[in-house]
Chain A
Amino acid sequence: MLDFTRVLAGPYATRILADFGAEVIKVQSRKTASGSELNNTGYFNTWNRGKLSITLDLSHPVGRELAIRLVDISDVVMENFTPRVMANWGLSYQSLQKVRPNLIMVSMSGMGQTGPWRDFAAFGPTIQALSGITFLTSFTPDYPLGLGYSYADHVAGLYAALAVLVALEHRDRTGEGQYVDLSEYEAMCTLLGPAIMDCELNHSPVVPRGSYPDYALAAPYGCYKCQGDDRWCVIAVFTDEEWQALRSVLGNPPWTDEARFSTAWQRREHIDNLNELLEQWTVQHSPEEVMDLLQGVGVAAGIVKNAREVAADPQLTARHFFATVTHPTLGETTFDSTPIRLERTPARFGRAAPLLGQDNRYVYQELLGIGDRELTELIEAGVIS
């Protein structure tokens, strides 16, 4: 894979494929390897482990010729520039398809390659705002909060990885390549499908309601304060059976016997009250106690874990969710491995993210056959920076 992507959405897609053995050649340049594209950082190491790095100045005409030679030896090209950037460099799908007829090219962008907003500046928070999830992730409609981080980038990355695999399947069957135009805005919207349909079919606005169960008949359900500083648990009761089990853990206090809590519908009707009363119990316990006690009787409950707690989580640890590799300058580094657990052909995490241009020699000389003298000239000319 020839990987022109940057920051998170694109690199997340190519990372998934690199984790499972794809040879991903990340095209960087000294001029643009900064911020989240700075090689010697934890962020870069996390999103780009297992990839190769070459430097290439695409603003240089010879650089673009080299890019074409790289396309010639690649199955897939992935890019997430604003639309027309690749075309302006003579690297549109139309041009590249002439070089490699069965090329698979995936263009990821905020808004898609077409449409009135296609040239709009967009980052994760922008896209999340446009998709509706920011508005809906709030306690009230008057004061939206949003997610606080770029979840949309991961979503787009997942869809892009899926698109590559689908295109490879198509190529296997027909010999044909494919062009894929992927919009991160649309990717986020697909994860709000039911809410959009509710609004459309029921002609009623969909409004945020904090951590209520969006559409499930569940009560109690929510986030409850626990003992300790900023410690919380979550509890979700769906059935009468679970409600009885919860009651028994609480010691069957009289309030749980009230008629207004006796059926699932009534509990949902009175969920605010129910949640308040339940919290009077949870505040006396640590979230660990709440989870143990309730899971012990078959009720869904969990700890609201912070990053430190997630990193030390017993379940994630038992499943070796975190992988460690040695990085040339950062030393021993840890990152999340992958949720994709294929039993026979698991992902491998043997390599940290590359240093800038680390694989120039391998890619340009071994893969493209460029000799020592030509390579030196290209470096001196700044084509390979």
Chain B
Amino acid sequence: MALAGLRVLDLADECASFCSKLLADLGAEVIKVEPPGGDKSRWQGPFWGNLSHPEKSLSFWYNNTSKLGITLNLESNEGQEIFRSLIDRTDVIVETFPPGYLDGLGLGYKTLCESNPGLIMASVTGFGQGGPYSKYKSCDIVASAMGGQMYVCGAPDTAPLKPYGQQAYYTASLFAAVGILMALRVRKHGGQGQHLDISLQEAVAATLEHVLVRYLYEGVVSGRQGSFHWNRSFCLLPCKDKYVVLSPLIEWETLVELLDSEGMASDLTEARWQDEEYRTRHLDHVVEVLQRWTKAHTSAELFELGQLMRLPWAPVASPEDVLVSPQLRARSFFVPVAHPEAKTGFSYAGAPYKFNRATWDIKRRAPLIGEHNIQIYHHELGYSREKIDELSSRNAI
């Protein structure tokens, strides 16, 4: 596999666990380094069976596939020594501690790269390593707000709405993974690693499509548009069962014909509606007429009908729908992952890239707390089992 032999130490919490998952599923050897008792991200839901338990967090499972797991107390002197001995054969570290925290423990990038000049450290924080907000606390809603995403999400007459899921963490993780692979390429010429500084706020601000562009070039401050796409080229309309996303402004004649064939076009057959600008200015009326038509159909009917006419229509799917999507199933998008403790396997969302050479695979489920302590501390570092017990009783691991 493409990244086989690459060793990554994952110190990240929920803000960037996904980064090294991407690398692990591509063949890298990723060791998740957690404090004794497990990383706090294990207490993030959802939980299997809906009861919180550190070995049953579905978000932890999903974000930590293919990784090994050890426990290590970085705040103890012994823990720090052990960490330093792991660094020698490490290519990449991913961490999400507040800026300066690792430096304070003598484990900052500048110190570690002295003994391992090829080391690449990716630090993912709310606002980055320096700057006036670098000491501020962040989380997904703060990143979404400070990055400019929340302001444009929601309706004009509601509060701003945070997009679902911890999107800032995922995009930051993707940016970090890209940066790490670039740093690895640079390292091939000259052998030197480097520090990669990723800010959640910037990850959000860099993925806003038109929002900053319209302001920087036209001085327009985009606002909330409800269920309309920002330029009104798409809208959500209710069907008999759920909602559908339609494109009310394009292929106008085709659309009117569809409605007219069912006697539901109302006044939209009149000539003035053929002018795109006119339609945009009076979109509310268009939507009103369209709604009466969509309510007479199911979202599945309109999905099929629209796509037959090559219109970019789609049902507003829920996660249940995604699980049974014929397209995802045909492409084997969901992959089985064994969970021996559960005596069963579960289906996980897989990867969106299919390489023609075997390059991607979920090797194993996320590690249990300290699952690979023996493998790493005993087999690799050579500590005796007695020593491991001792270190454990002193809370060093």
Contacts and interface: CB of A to CB of B under 8 A. Distances in A.
Contacts of A131: 317, 322
B293 interface: no
A114 interface: yes
A316 B212 CA distance: 13
Given A120-B307, A197-B348, A298-B137, A166 B355 contact: yes
A155 B62 contact: no
Nearest to B137: A300
A214 B161 contact: no
Contacts of B176: 340
A199 B323 contact: yes
A49 to B, nearest CB: 12
A159 interface: yes
Contacts of B397: none
Given A42-B218, A206-B318, A315-B133, A123 B174 contact: no
Given A135-B317, A154-B209, A183-B331, A162 B152 contact: no
Given A166-B2, A170-B357, A302-B146, A148 B182 contact: no
Main secondary structure of the interface of A (DSSP, over half): mixed
Contacts of B211: 149, 307, 310
Contacts of A178: 355-357, 359
Nearest to B132: A314
Contacts of A112: 327, 331, 354
Interface residues of A, number: 149
Contacts of B63: 193-194
B159 interface: yes
B86 interface: no
Interface stretch (B69-77, B219-227, B268-276, B282-290): B219-227
Contacts of A207: 318
Interface string A95-124: 000000000000000011011111011111
Interface stretch (B189-197, B258-266, B372-380): B189-197
Contact of B320 (A41, A199, A201): A199
A42 B216 contact: yes
Contacts of B326: 115-117
Interface in B294-351: 307, 310-323, 325-328, 330-331, 333, 346-351
B45 interface: yes
A305 interface: yes
Interface in B194-230: 194-199, 201-203, 205-218, 220-230
Given A180-B353, A319-B130, A341-B196, 17 more contacts: A131-B322, A132-B321, A136-B319, A146-B245, A182-B353, A185-B328, A186-B328, A201-B48, A214-B166, A233-B145, A302-B145, A304-B151, A306-B222, A307-B220, A311-B216, A340-B198, A342-B179
13 contacts: A46-B213, A134-B316, A137-B164, A147-B163, A155-B171, A156-B352, A162-B22, A170-B355, A192-B349, A195-B165, A196-B319, A205-B318, A311-B212
Interface of B: 2-3, 22, 26, 43-46, 48-50, 52, 58-59, 61-63, 127-128, 130-139, 141-148, 150-155, 158-167, 170-172, 174-179, 181-186, 188, 192, 194-199, 201-203, 205-218, 220-230, 233-234, 236, 242-245, 307, 310-323, 325-328, 330-331, 333, 346-357, 359
